[in-house]
Amino acid sequence: MAPVSMAQAINAALADALADDDRVVVFGEDVGALGGVFRVTDGLTAKFGEDRCFDTPLAESGIVGMAVGMAMNGMRPVVEMQFDAFAYPAFEQIASHVAKMRNRTRGALPLPMVIRVPYAGGIGGVEHHCDSSEGYYAHTPGLTVVTPATVADAYGLLREAIASPDPVVFMEPKKLYWAKEEVTLPARTAPFGRAEVRRTGTDATLVAYGPAVPVAMEAAAEAVAEGWDLEVVDLRTIVPFDDDTVMASVARTGRAVVVAEAQGFAGVASEIAARISERCFHVLEAPVRRVTGFDVPYPPPKLEHHHLPGVERVLDTVATLQWEDR
């Protein structure tokens, strides 16, 4: 086993999918000769040729719209949005067509396609480069919304996304691109719709996804010193949502904190908190809490550390879970 970064794992998943399936094509802005601004598509054009991995004009709606047409004609396009906030011009295509084509045509025109979105902050990016936009997609029926937190999952989930008969928005936590793990590729991981318990614990459950998972893991490690044994659940796929694993964990621990980097209001974390409250009310020892970003536009680099939910804020919140009743 060798240390592999998340960016390398995604690159390997793309290369393996291109090699295994002629219908797969990769395109977007700067994904060709440059290999993408994060080098995630490095070497793909050289290896597979211009027809399989190519640059497009600068137009996100055009990129996604073109992918829709290609998927209608039997291909499996994988497109890259350069940054989270630059996917917004494509939102009409995503919400009105990508998400709805199968339903509109009663299954006659499925759209097997993947929209890769580098997202979220923590990298000192300037405005428009750090949005947590997963809520927009998760709120749109018809989309599968996936976000890996580990290197192995980045590979395994992307391969499943490309093989999926449904369109997938694949959200890649930018700050984890360079995180390395010892893994052997190709890695196979649990299928869509299955959350993973990354750390078992008995006192409270931290539910997290994407960039918040390492934060939750660190918080759990530090919580030991406070006498709390925390369980960490990594959602992996926001849609489909794994109620079973989350609820089973909270049923065991009786306490839950949802950790997400996105602004909290009307977001994915709120949905998770509501689901836990509805389903686990009778076993809860304390109200379900959320630790999220503030409800502000993503801050400038010098202020982002105030905004991002960090270990301390997670532990402060865990401290409010009515331990006196224990």
Partner 1 sequence: MTTRSGIDLLPTSRPLQLLDKRGRRAPKTRGGGLAMPDDETLLAAYRALVVGRRFDRQATNLVKQGRLAVYPSSHGQEASEVGAVLALRPTDWLFPTYRDSVALVTRGIDPVEVLTLLRGDWHSGYDPVAHRTAPQCTPLATQAPHAVGFAHAARLKGEDTVALAFLGDGATSEGDFHEALNFAAVFRAPVVFFVQNNQYAISVPLARQTAAPSLAHKAVGYGMPGVGVDGNDVAAVIAAVAQAADRARSGGGPTLIEAHTYRMDAHTNADDATRYRTDEEVAAWRDRDPVDRITAHLRGAGLLDDARVGAVAAEAERVAADLRERLPEQTPPDPAELFAHVYSSPTPQLREQADLLRAELAEEV
In the complex, the residues that contact partner 1 under the rule CB under 8 A are 25, 51, 56-57, 59, 61-62, 64-75, 77, 89, 92-93, 96-97, 100-110, 141-142, 144, 164-166, 193, 239-241, 243-244
Q: Give whichever of 8 and 147 is closer to partner 1, judged by the CB atom.
A: 147
216-239 burial by CB neighbour count: b if 16+ within 10 A, else e?
A: bbebbebbeeeebebbbbbbbbbb
Integer Cα distance of 66 and 68 in angstroms: 5
- Using CA atoms, how far residue 179 sits from 3, 12, 154, 211, 271, in Å, is 9, 15, 11, 11, 28
Q: Give whichever of 244 and 312 is closer to partner 1, judged by the CB atom.
A: 244
Q: In angstroms, give the least distance from the CB of 290 to partner 1.
A: 20
Q: In angstroms, give the least distance from the CB of 249 to partner 1.
A: 16
Q: Give whichever of 89 and 310 is closer to partner 1, judged by the CB atom.
A: 89
Identify residue 133 by its one-letter amino acid code.
S
129 classed as catalytic:
yes
Q: In angstroms, give the least distance from the CB of 92 to partner 1.
A: 6
Q: In angstroms, give the least distance from the CB of 74 to partner 1.
A: 7
- Report helix, strand or coil for 107: coil
Distance from the first to the final alpha carbon of the chain:
44
Q: In this structure, what DSSP letter does residue 296 have?
A: S
Q: In angstroms, how far is CA 135 from the centroid of its own chain?
A: 11
Integer Cα distance of 36 and 294 in angstroms: 30
Q: In angstroms, give the least distance from the CB of 82 to partner 1.
A: 16
Q: In this structure, what DSSP letter does residue 175 have?
A: G
- Report helix, strand or coil for 113: coil
Active-site residue identified among 97, 128, 129, 306: 129
DSSP 24-82: EEEEESS-STT--TTSTTTTHHHHH-TTTEEE--S-HHHHHHHHHHHHHTT-EEEEE-S
Integer Cα distance of 178 and 62 in angstroms: 30
Q: In angstroms, give the least distance from the CB of 54 to partner 1.
A: 9
Integer Cα distance of 181 and 148 in angstroms: 13
Q: Catalytic residue numbers?
A: 129
